[in-house]
A and B are shown apart, each in its own frame.
Chain A
Amino acid sequence: MAAGPPTAVLALRGIRVSGRDRPRLEDVDLSLAPGERVALLGASGAGKSTLLAVANGLLAPVAGTVLWEGQAPARSRRGRRRQQARIGTLWQDLRLIEELTVQQNLNAARLARWGWPRALLNLLLPLDTEACAAALRAMDLDPALLEQPVTALSGGQRQRVAMARLLRQEPTLLLADEPLASLDPRLAGELLALLLAQAVAPRALLLSLHRPDLLDGFDRAVGLKDGRVLFDGPVAQVNAALLADLYGGTPPGETP
């Protein structure tokens, strides 16, 4: 590697997204270096989900630039798809395909790289069983689950399958929108640890969080308030006063 800082996995500059009465995001700068794990904090309505939608390309900002691995959004359809394939999102509602098996769901993350023949064959035969099993094991799941329909899984298992699918996509940018919101504290801690363990260079992780007590494994925290970045710094600097400011009163969950 040549000298100089490595290319940021995600770089947002001066992002603005308009809303009905006020901007949903205003002049937001955010940069993720390879290997960085960043927590996104803020009250509901602060713009966390909007920011993540800009980061994963779902929402085009009205002003500002988005760079993925140093590249602006590609103009060609094919180029854009190649970019999107490197952005993995863990959705709050998981978005598993209920009619398919665990293995078919995991392989659905490969559709961007597969052609039609494999995409259709995946609906008939178990494909890439070894890679799928490895993804399940990385999430502490039994590979025997591969043949199960996802409807047969428990809530915790579904969460892990969604995370395994994220791995199966092999993205460089990991995005997650409050993935732990509906889980009990012990399970939330466990799953967060698994996710953080996957975020090693060249990957980077941006995760929105509603519980400041889970900040330990992150490198940086970014606080949003009313669509603006209020704080961007090491996790160690997050204190009660800042949280009170972010959440406009008592912070949710326990204070750190």
Chain B
Amino acid sequence: MKPAAPLLLLLPALVLVPLAVLLPPLVHGGGWELIGSFALAAVTPSLDPVVLASLLRGVAVTAGMALLGWAGSLVLGLLLGAASSRTVWRTLTGSTLPAELIRRLLALPRAIHELIWGLLLLQLVGLQPAVAVLAIALPFGALVARVLSDLLDALPTAGLEALRAAGAPAPAALLTAMGPALLPGVLSYGGYRLECALRSATLLGVFGLGGLGTDLKLSLQSLEFHELWSGLWLLLAVMLALEGGISLLRRRWLVPGRFVLARRGVGERSREMLLTLAALLPLCVLVGRGLGVDPAALLQWQPLPGLGGGDWAATAALPWPRLVGGTLLLTALAASLAVGLAPLLLVVVAPVGWARQGLRLLWALGRLWPPPLTALPLLFVLEPGVITAALALGFHNLGVLGRLLLESADVADPAAEEALACGGSGPRLALLYGRFSALARPYLAYGAYRADVILRESVVVGLVGATGLGSQLLESLSSFAWDQLLALVAVYALLTLVGEDLSDRARHRWLRAA
């Protein structure tokens, strides 16, 4: 009794069953009126020129932080990626040991979410634009490094060896043999990271690091829903323009999409790609000027408040099993919701043509909306806790996964679905059997990767209260309990690394079985 591919795709949606049982007791009478005016404000955003001007400044700051953080992560990632590549070390020194070592070390910055980086840096150097930039650049750089070194080490080395045998010096041989083959993969992943950077910059703003996120949070807290929606629609326009531009370049340059986690792609117009990358440099300098980013200020560390001997007994006395359990439950719920709802909703709305566009918009809002900002309106009507946090986190990631599934469904071969519909099966079953069969495995493999991202991300909904490690971490941070913070970050990193390993295995199993 082995479930077939299309059924597997629907299984994660079974999480709706326990949710249907657990959710009703969490509803409190409180804020339905608030939810109503919140929803109504979506169609009546504030058009006040003063508000709009301030929001536009916020969007510009957020976009600028995203761009700089992303550019920094690319530079870091390229350097560290080369430094953790076995092929590079073998070519340069004949030994792959340093590569293994650097690879292990890079796991740590990668495992720590940009929000934790941001909050730690904030304590260290005070509020300045460079904090958000660095908070994005560090973990993203480590992620880019990993993907890059994996890509590099998976490339055939015959060309490289031929160049070396002909007497080319090692660095030149590496660049000539590997560079062109690597470019499409790097650009594809880089484009995806830029989208992530915009979302992260917004999120960091919610936690006070500046830009639109800060405006959004203030509007929400003061119940200025009309202003909130003006900001959200503006951000949506920027995000859709960015995503559209990136997918346009992907198609133009024929680089692989992210969905199949393709190892190699067909790249064209290499010169154009390089020119585009080169044009980014002056742009980044300009943006840096505009934002007032001052790298030198990063070196002026403030004395950390309350840094003394650690109270390790109190740290050990934290309810660790409950914290870890809460975090894992939160991750499992949010991941199942995000992975399961995307195909389920697409199947449900299949007969109605325009409903698909509605889903597209809903998912775009989900992607754009930082999870803590989703959680706040949810708290108008729900009790705080793991489930409320999981809904917020799940909605955000549903936006990411839903878009991927919809985009790959749009380009998948329609023949089998057409044949089924032609034989009289309804549009829902035709979609499920005919089109989702082929997508199931790559989609679930991507879902496994996403679950890993969600685990790392679970810290951002910590402010919903009692969600496990995330809420404890924010609490320890605000009370300057550095010993607790250190232990919490270490446990988080450990969990993330184990999760990363598990999701890697799951992904390889899914893709191999395909």
Task: List the interface of chain A (C-beta within 8 A of B).
Answer: 56-58, 77, 81-89, 91, 93, 95-101, 104, 108-109, 111-113, 116, 119-120, 123-125, 169, 171
Contact = CB atoms under 8 A, between A and B. Distances in A.
Given A95-B415, A109-B423, 18 more contacts: A57-B422, A81-B426, A83-B424, A84-B424, A91-B415, A93-B415, A95-B418, A97-B416, A97-B433, A97-B437, A99-B441, A108-B433, A111-B433, A116-B429, A119-B429, A119-B433, A123-B3, A123-B6
A84 B423 contact: yes
A58 B421 CA distance: 9
User: Which of the listed residues A84, A89, A100, A108 has the most CB atoms from chain B within 10 Å of its own CB?
Assistant: A108
B5 interface: yes
Contacts of A100: 4-5, 433, 437
A119 B10 CA distance: 13
15 contacts: A81-B426, A85-B423, A85-B424, A87-B422, A93-B415, A95-B419, A98-B438, A99-B437, A99-B441, A100-B4, A101-B4, A108-B420, A111-B420, A111-B430, A123-B7
Interface string B455-475: 000000000000000000000
A124 B3 contact: yes
A83 B418 CA distance: 16
A122 to B, nearest CB: 8
B1 interface: yes
B238 to A, nearest CB: 39
B413 to A, nearest CB: 9
A120 B3 CA distance: 10
Contacts of A120: 7, 10
Contacts of B5: 99-100
B364 interface: no
B186 interface: no
User: Which of the listed residues A112, A113, A125 has the most CB atoms from chain B within 10 Å of its own CB?
Assistant: A112
* Tier of interface size on chain B: 20 to 34
Given A93-B415, A97-B434, A111-B433, A124 B7 contact: yes
Nearest to A77: B351
A108 B420 CA distance: 8
B423 A124 contact: no
Nearest to B427: A77
Contacts of A93: 415
Contacts of A97: 416, 433-434, 437
Nearest to A83: B424
A97 B416 CA distance: 7
Contact of A89 (B422, B438, B440): B422
Contacts of B3: 123-124
B44 interface: no
Nearest to A166: B423
B54 interface: no
Contacts of A56: 422
B2 to A, nearest CB: 8
A98 B430 CA distance: 14
A111 B438 contact: no
B415 A123 contact: no
Contacts of A88: 423
Contacts of A123: 3-4, 6-7
User: Which of the listed residues A95, A97, A124, A171 has the most CB atoms from chain B within 10 Å of its own CB?
Assistant: A97
B312 to A, nearest CB: 52
B157 interface: no
Interface string B383-420: 00000000000000000000000000000000110111
Contacts of B440: 99
B438 A99 contact: yes
A171 B6 CA distance: 26
Contact of A58 (B4, B420, B422, B425): B422
Given A98-B438, A123-B3, A124-B3, A87 B433 contact: no
B4 A104 contact: yes
